[in-house]
Structure 1
Amino acid sequence: MSTIVVLFTRDLRLSDHPALHAAVAEADRVVPLFVLDPALLRVSARNRIAYLVEALAELRTLLRERGGDLVVRRGDTAAETARVVAETAARAVHLSEDVGAVAVRRERRLSQAVGASGARLRTFPGVTVVPPGSLRPAHGDHYRVFTPYLRAWESARWRAPLPAPERIALPDALAPGPLPGPDLVRTGIGVLSPHRPRGGAGAARARLRAWLSAAAHARGRPGSSAAEEDSRLGCHLRFGCVSPLEAALLARDRPHGAAFLRRLALRDFHHQTARAFPRLNRVDCRPGPTRWRRDDSGFAAWCSGTTGVPIVDAGMRQLLREGYLPGRVRTIAAAYLTRVLRIHWKRGADHFHSLLVDGDVAVNYGNWQQVAGTGGVPRPAHRFDPLRQARRYDPDGVYVRRHVPELRGIAGGQVHDPPLPRPGGYPPPLSRP
């Protein structure tokens, strides 16, 4: 009997899973495998590890309902995968293609390790709507500016989504291994946010349904109760608990889905950038003349939400409490740090990445580089007025008062008006350099 191992990484679902679908169609036995790699866990946000623990438990349940199981191993991903290949005499390992330096290095090492065991590594789409690298400009290996990429993305032919398998047969006498428990969270970095979202495919699909039913009434403002700018689906997309392709197809069929589709396209844009430029999280994509400042006290105030700028502080406090930020507030907070305080984008991006449940290397660092003017924008604008942004996207002050309790006694949009009254010990604005 033939056996194929499916290595799960950022694709913790059964629906529209090309790697799993191909394995079930081609082999008599399928080994769904997840490897808890200490080298990756040590640099992962505690919020993401907590999500992962819940998502893996649900994935095992879904697999067991179909006659299979989730095989869990601990150790180096390539070495543990090769051991499972040898134990089951598997002829192939299937993997969803990913981008970035860590993913590229993992794929290379996997190919070598499983090849030494007599198997071959095959990669499949599934992490993005359009596979990274499939869209190319007339000149160059990838799009450096989003607008032309968006046009190509909108006209691209998408693959058809795939159903979840009805049955999965696991090789006999293969020990599944224990699932990780809550203690795994201690391994990571950052704080564990008290109001982070729950992980798993069930929570992902429930959130998608809720957003689709509510998004028609959303106003695209931070204070919106319907969608809060990015639908809160980012964490579910980051772990692949919902298929980005299925989400895109559902949004495309609705008249109010255009903004969400644009965000999915931007997500794909950052992934194709990371594929072409794996050092996205460390090096400027487009080096510029900005003279960055070393301002530790200003950075600490920004991280803790005590800059004295209400819209920025509201966002940074929400990040600490929820491991989440609306897309527009991410941009405002990032622009304030890089354009007003002139603190290097990497410090801010690293802080975000230590807390965001949806912390995706390509998307997080790609967005920060865009805001800082070092990413794929031809002529970045360096002028930035946080008060103007606040009045535009939180005109009634709903968002600020929700997250900055010291300002709840100030009526309406007056929370944005300078000079702002300073009740409850709320700090004055940081002095600009």
Structure 2
Amino acid sequence: MSKGTLLYAQSGGVTAVINATASAVIAEARASRIKVLAARNGILGALREDLIDTSRESAASIAALAHTPGGAFGSCRYKLKSLEADRARYARLLEVFRAHDVRWFLYNGGNDSADTALKVSQLAREFDYPLTCVGVPKTIDNDLAVTDTCPGFGSAAKYTAVSVREAALDVAAMAETSTRVFIYEAMGRHAGWLAAAAGLAGENPDDAPQIILLPERAYDEAAFLAKVKQVVARVGWCVVVASEGIQSADGRFVADAGGATDSFGHTQLGGVASYLAGRVKAELGYKVHWTLPDYLQRSARHVASKTDWEQAQAVGRAAVRFALAGRNSVMPVIARTSDAPYRWKIEAAPLSRAANHEKKMPAGFIRRDGFGITDKARRYLQPLIRGEAPLPWGRDGLPKYVSLKNVAVARKLPAWEG
């Protein structure tokens, strides 16, 4: 039996399947008789020495995590800076790791989390501390470099496509005397993957969404309004899907939340749908409805993709195997080997190739007029939303989710004053 413990932490916005990854991590480690601690509220829990003993959870509870949304151990938006600028915090992490004999650190998150895992591994090497760091991919934005897709995206994409298709049927039914234009705001700051996934809702040119606004193309209001008018004249109604991160030609976000920033330093977006609705109503006179699904996009486990669910577990299992094999500073990534039939495998990629790199929509995935997706994009996206992930339902008509006990281990160090 290997000596040491494995520390797992969740980071950033959670997804419908991040707990499926957690379930796989814990089950895989248990199979190798490795004790798993979880940091409460992500890296903050590690800094505060607020660690959860997952061995206090039953095998049934850990298995039930695989169909439970949210972040079972809590997550956080907290970015560590460079080793030089944040050296005291990194040193504190090593103190906590030493105190609890942590020999493997798995950080489940996006670009910033990959960067943190990389820096922790570098500091451990500098201080000659035997620590293996592995990044575990997660994001609904699908913007992680190296991996073909990212666990969390497929389920959010499925929710988006289903929601748009269903809403379009409503709009079509009411267009004669009510709503002519419906605008759906999708998450996506700089990469339009989630908005693009809405394109799967339609199969023919006049099917909804007739217009998709992506951050990879500059927003041109005149062209947008002209396109809306054209679609309404031809179809009788129009569904628009807009990424929250669309920008004007000068690089300014079309809508933001008053210029506030989150703890990662990102402008806090939200409100592009309401802004576009106002412009359509003012300039074209159509009755407009709009929606901001927000957290619903990433928490909708009831319509999770089976492909996504299976991949979320696969990266969790692989992360443990890589860690126990001593493969430091890597991330398990998904490599597509075939579109039809859809096939994929897990490979190891250096964290340095993922950290702080952003994958945007390729030009070949965006329709020439900038308002939709190409067949090439459809071939890439469609397999990612296939299948329905297993989910037990209760007699009350609601999904049966699990809540963990999350029993903390005893602290061994002075309180963190950071």
TM-score by length of 2: 0.34
Judging by fraction of residues, say which structure has more strand. 2
Judging by fraction of residues, say which structure has more helix. 1
TM-score by length of 1: 0.33
Relative contact order, higher structure (CA 8 A, sep 6+): 2
